[in-house]
A = this chain, B = another copy of it.
Amino acid sequence: MQNFDYMTPTRLIFGKDVIVKLPEVMEKFGKKILLTYGGGSIKKIGLYDKVKELLSGFEIYELSGIQPNPKYDPSVMDGVRICKEEDINVILAVGGGSVLDCSKAIAAGACYDGDPWDLISYKVKAQAALPIVDIITLAATGSEYDCGGVISRTETNDKIGYMDPHLFPAVSFLDPTYTFTVSKKQTAAGCADAMNHIMEQYFCEDSSILNDGFMEAGFKSLMTNAKKCLENPEDYTARAEMMLTCTYGCNGIYALGNSQTGWPCHGMEHALSAYYDITHGEGLAIITPRWMKHILTEKTVGRFVKYGVNVFGIDASLDRFEIANRAIDATYKFFESIGIPMHLREVGIDESRIGEMAHHVAVNEGLEHAWAPLLEEDIAKIFTDSL
């Protein structure tokens, strides 16, 4: 077990109708709120009106139109400008991981005099951030329980994951009923994103009985509950279990003390969605089984055996590589079964920019230091295998 230093101070208020606590929560932070959200789905489900009604005694400024793979310009820049001009006390992010990630960048940028990109690109370390409260409407990224975010900068094809301990949300509201209307496509993509978050921590040099069991339960929870959510979008228990399993995805709790893995699939997928703006979870689902096949060696086979036996119930007496290959195939088939397009061509990516993307990943993501190291040619091969 490796040494670690862990803290997640976020308060989780979870369950049906918990939003009634919103006013008393916001009150502690001040009266001037920047309300951030995306394309209007929160209006369709009545959540926007509910929030405005609950916060009628507050002074609310709005930043809407935050896109998936949230953009530095205009979203982050606009948000920072409003916070500074209006002297905002607290950001209330209502939506999925993209809205929250964008809000984190705004929260840090609002307390910094220079270009917020300095913070996102780690040129400068944040010294403070505005407090963030969120109401999550999509089970996927786990941003509601971690201190990181991913921001895209279109002109440079950069999609950067940045982390800073100032960026833990102070309070996250998680009401599973807000995810009842999430489309089948986004439900499946959210599941794939969360599956991959656990994989990025599971496939490592060593682990413990505790962490392995926790993560294997996470895989099983996601697979079982995603199917239930697709069959019956208003299955409260399935939506709730899905939501909690996703929440733990990125704050480290699934694997405290595990050795580092390098998060290779996220490193590769960030290029795909930076160059082509595809749905992050779909990109992950497409490349994950190809990455697994590519890194399957004598060194890694043991972890795939454990994964295959404990998650998919594959017969432990089979040959190790047979178990591993069956586990990888089962992973592919699971993603396919929940309706994810499993080829890059299906999401509009052809071979034309693979070399460029592989180079970008090799230069920027440090995957030569991953548990199963990936060089530029490995990355290009995985992209090509994914076509």
Contact = CB atoms under 8 A, between A and B. Distances in A.
A26 to B, nearest CB: 16
Given A7-B10, A12-B5, A241-B208, A217 B225 contact: no
A162 interface: no
Number of copies: 2
Given A221-B208, A241-B1, A14 B256 contact: yes
A214 interface: yes
Given A217-B212, A240-B257, A14 B9 contact: no
Contacts of A337: none
A15 B258 CA distance: 12
A98 interface: no
A147 to B, nearest CB: 13
- Which range contains the number of A residues in contact with the other chain? 35 or more
B12 A237 contact: no
A213 interface: yes
A174 to B, nearest CB: 10
Interface string A9-50: 111111110100000000000000000000000000000000
B210 A213 contact: no
Nearest to A240: B1
Contact of A213 (B1, B3, B213, B237): B213
Contacts of A5: 11-14, 18
The list of the 6 closest CB pairs from A to B, nearest first, reads: A213-B217, A3-B15, A7-B11, A9-B9, A1-B240, A209-B221
15 contacts: A4-B12, A4-B14, A6-B11, A9-B9, A14-B257, A208-B240, A209-B221, A209-B224, A210-B218, A210-B221, A210-B244, A213-B217, A213-B220, A214-B214, A244-B257
